[in-house]
Copies of this chain bind each other. A is one copy, B any other.
Amino acid sequence: MKKKIAVIGASGYSGEELVRLLLHHPHAELVAVTSRQNAGQTLAQVFPKFASHPKSKTLRFTAPKTALLAKQADVVFLALPHGVAAEYAVSLLEAGCVVIDLSADFRLKSAEIYKEFYAHDHPAPELLKKAVYGLPEIYREQIKKTLLVASPGCYPTSILLPTIPLLKAGLVKSTGIIADSLSGVSGAGRKAEADYLFCECNESVRPYGVPKHRHLSEIEEQLSLAADSNVTIQFTPHLIPVNRGILTTLYFAPEKHFSNTTEMDALNGKISACYARNYGKEPFVRLLEGKALPDTKNVAGTNVIEIAWRLDPRTGRLVVMSAEDNLVKGASGQAVQSMNILCGFPETAGLV
C-alpha cells in the first residue's frame, strides 16, 4: 500500500520539485500540499506543467494545519524557511508522522552553532539529537531508523559527498580545504527580490556571502565527524545564470606528498579505490573516468552527483570537482531518497 505524503510549503522551488517527484512515485501518494498564498488553488492552477497528471485537478493547496495534516499523511516533507520548519516538525512528530525536513533546522547537532549561523535560538533543541542528517550515502543505516530526517543543503551535498571518503581514508589533510561553488539561481528560492530578477542574473557572474555562508555550519560539522578532528574550510559561493545546478571545485592537500610519476600514479590509484569502495555501487554517485569532467547539464533533473578528480604534479594538490542539480540531489531528490530508505522502498524508487 502506498504511503500518504504531505508537502508543507509546496509553492517554492524545492516544494515544486518534491511535488514533481512524488506525483510519479510508485510507492507514494501525494495527499496534501500547503501554501498560504496559493490556498484554495489546484496543483494544475499553480503549476501548469503538472496539469497532465490526473491528481493535478483535484489536489488543492491548503493552509498548513498540522493536526489535519497529521491525520491525512504518514510522511510530511517540510519545504519551509529555517526557524519555521522546526515548529511544524515538533507538532507532526508528536502526532506520529515521519518528518523529512528540507530546512536547516535539524542539520546541526549543536544549538549553539545553530544560533551563531542563523542568528536566533534554536526552536526545538531537544530534537537535534533525534534527527539524522539525510545524506544517504553516509547515513543510510541511521536513516532507516529515524522519524526525523534533516535533509542536507545543496552546497553541503556537493562538498560533502566528494570530501568525506577522502577524509575518512586519511588521503587528504583536514586542514586548508577550499570549496569554490557555482550555483544556479533556483538556489535562491522563489523569492520576489530584485537581485534575482532575470535582468540582474542573466549575463552576470558574481560571488556572494563571502566569507561566512550559513551552510558552512553543517559542512564543517560533517567534515569534522569524518576527519575526527575540527575542520574549518574556505567556502566561496557564486551565482551563475542557469536555472539548476551546482558545480563545486575542491582543493585538497594530499596526506602523502608525491614527487614523481610513480608516486602520483600510486596516489591516484588509492583515491580511485577509495571512491570506488565508497560509491562504486551507489546508484546516485557517478564517478567520471578518463578525460570526462563534471557538467551540470549532465545531471540536471536527476538525483545524480558527478565526481571527477585530478592530481596536479605541478602543485602537489588534489582537485576534486562535483556537479549536481541543486533542486534534486541538492534538495528534493535527496529528500525522497531518504524517504525511500526510511520507508523500506527501493532506494531509487521514483528517482530514475
Q: Which residues of chain A have a CB within 8 Å of any CB of chain B?
A: 13, 24, 48-49, 51-52, 178, 180, 182, 184-186, 190-194, 196-208, 210-212, 216, 232-234, 236, 238, 240-245, 247, 249, 251, 283-284, 286, 288, 292-302, 304, 306, 310-312, 314-315, 317, 319, 321, 323, 352
Taking a contact as CB atoms under 8 Å apart, the answer to whether A315 and B197 are in contact is no
The distance from the CB of A193 to the nearest CB of chain B, in whole angstroms, is 6
Contact partner, A207, options B234, B247, B251, B315, Cβ 8 Å: B247
Contact status of A48 and B306, CB under 8 A, knowing A245-B205, A251-B234: yes
Taking a contact as CB atoms under 8 Å apart, the answer to whether A192 and B203 are in contact is no
Taking a contact as CB atoms under 8 Å apart, the answer to whether A242 and B203 are in contact is yes
Taking a contact as CB atoms under 8 Å apart, the answer to whether A197 and B199 are in contact is no
The distance from the CB of A264 to the nearest CB of chain B, in whole angstroms, is 12
- Cα distance A232–B317 when bound, in Å? 11
The distance from the CB of A207 to the nearest CB of chain B, in whole angstroms, is 5
Taking a contact as CB atoms under 8 Å apart, the answer to whether A298 and B243 are in contact is no
Taking a contact as CB atoms under 8 Å apart, the answer to whether A194 and B192 are in contact is yes
The distance from the CB of A148 to the nearest CB of chain B, in whole angstroms, is 29
The distance from the CB of A154 to the nearest CB of chain B, in whole angstroms, is 14
Residues of B within 8 A of A292 (CB): 48
Contact partner, A212, options B236, B286, B299, B314, Cβ 8 Å: B314
Contact partner, A302, options B49, B182, B198, B199, Cβ 8 Å: B49
Taking a contact as CB atoms under 8 Å apart, the answer to whether A240 and B240 are in contact is yes
- Cα distance A24–B299 when bound, in Å? 16
- Cα distance A142–B323 when bound, in Å? 45
Centre residue among A184, A234, A296 by max chain B CB count within 10 A = A234
Taking a contact as CB atoms under 8 Å apart, the answer to whether A286 and B236 are in contact is no
> Can you spell out 14 A-B residue pairs with CB atoms less than 8 angstroms apart?
A48-B288, A51-B298, A184-B205, A192-B197, A197-B197, A203-B245, A203-B297, A204-B245, A205-B296, A206-B294, A207-B249, A211-B311, A212-B312, A233-B315
Contact partner, A236, options B191, B194, B236, B249, Cβ 8 Å: B249
The distance from the CB of A85 to the nearest CB of chain B, in whole angstroms, is 22
- Cα distance A283–B51 when bound, in Å? 11
Taking a contact as CB atoms under 8 Å apart, the answer to whether B180 and A199 are in contact is no
Residues of B within 8 A of A196 (CB): 197-199
Residues of B within 8 A of A234 (CB): 251, 312, 315, 317, 319
